[in-house]
Amino acid sequence: MAGKKVLIVYAHQEPWSFNGSLKNVAVEELTRQGCQVTVSDLYAMDFEPRATRRDITGALSYPKRFSYAVEAYEACRKGSLARDIMDEQRKVQEADLVIFQFPLYWFSVPAILKGWMDRVLCQGFCPIDLPKCYESGFIKDKLSLLSLTTGGTAEMYSKTGVSGDFRYFLWPLQHGALHFCGFKVLSDQISFAPESASEEERKKMVASWAQRLKSIWKEEPINCTSPWYFGE
């Protein structure tokens, strides 16, 4: 879709990794469609994952007892957040679709990506005050998508597998973070166990991702509610 803007938040240390290949093919395919693609390569940027007082560049609103949520909210309104946070928030604001590309660490995202979520999707930028969340969130008209790799096989992440249904670890990421902030969440793209797969299997995974991206703008968001993840 010509004119669409895409932000890829990429969290892997090695450019030549399988995650790097998935990121690259996404850039190539979406650019071919006429999209404007921006990549936030968090490791290359040496992105700071810790939410600290240094994120507030102006005077604290309540200096006697520091509350990150309160101070971030006030700083966001005043435009006095750290420059790296404001730069990432601008990218999110401009994007029609945000893709998160990462390897699964302990059933979650790498620390550097968790830090991006903590600092960028902060109070004031995303309406974290109830009930202004989920479908009523500030970024409610934007799409999001998790593209991730696992160390375990698909069988391990089944309901009868040792790790349980993969939807269990998607719940806090898709619903608890993205949907909570207002994103419309597209179905995940999981590449299971690429490290132990054959070269031919890895090529098929990359090709499957590229093929999906060809019609990504026609996809409908998933029903981001507990029955979708855990059943009735």
Strands 5-10 vs 36-41: parallel, antiparallel or unpaired: parallel
Q: Is 218 exposed, middle or buried (0-12, 13-18, 19+ CB in 10 A)?
A: exposed
Binned at pLDDT 50, 70 and 90, residue 141 comes out as: confident
Q: How far is Cα of residue 61 from the mean position of the Cα atoms in its chain?
A: 30
Q: Residue 142 and residue 1: Cα distance in Å, rounded?
A: 15
Residue 55, pLDDT score: 97
Average of pLDDT values for 91-119? 97
Residue 28, pLDDT score: 98
Residue 228, pLDDT score: 86
Average of pLDDT values for 113-136? 83
Binned at pLDDT 50, 70 and 90, residue 231 comes out as: confident
**Given this structure, which CATH class describes domain 5-230?**
alpha beta
pLDDT tens digit sequence for 30-63? 999 999 999 999 999 999 999 999 999 989 999 9
Residue 41, pLDDT score: 98
% of the chain at pLDDT higher than 90: 84
Residue 131, pLDDT score: 65
Residue 130, pLDDT score: 66
Residue 225, pLDDT score: 87
Angle at 231 between CA 228 and CA 232, to 5 degrees: 115
pLDDT tens digit sequence for 188-225? 999 999 999 999 999 999 999 999 999 999 999 999 88
pTM for the whole thing? Answer: 0.95
Binned at pLDDT 50, 70 and 90, residue 129 comes out as: low
Alpha-helix runs per DSSP H in 11-164? 18-32, 68-78, 83-94, 111-120
Residue 127, pLDDT score: 67
Q: Where are the domains of the chain?
A: 5-230
Measure Cα distances from 83 to 72, 88, 220 in Å: 13, 9, 34
Q: Residue 210 and residue 33: Cα distance in Å, rounded?
A: 12
The candidate with the shortest Cα–Cα distance to 146, out of 3, 11, 5, is 11
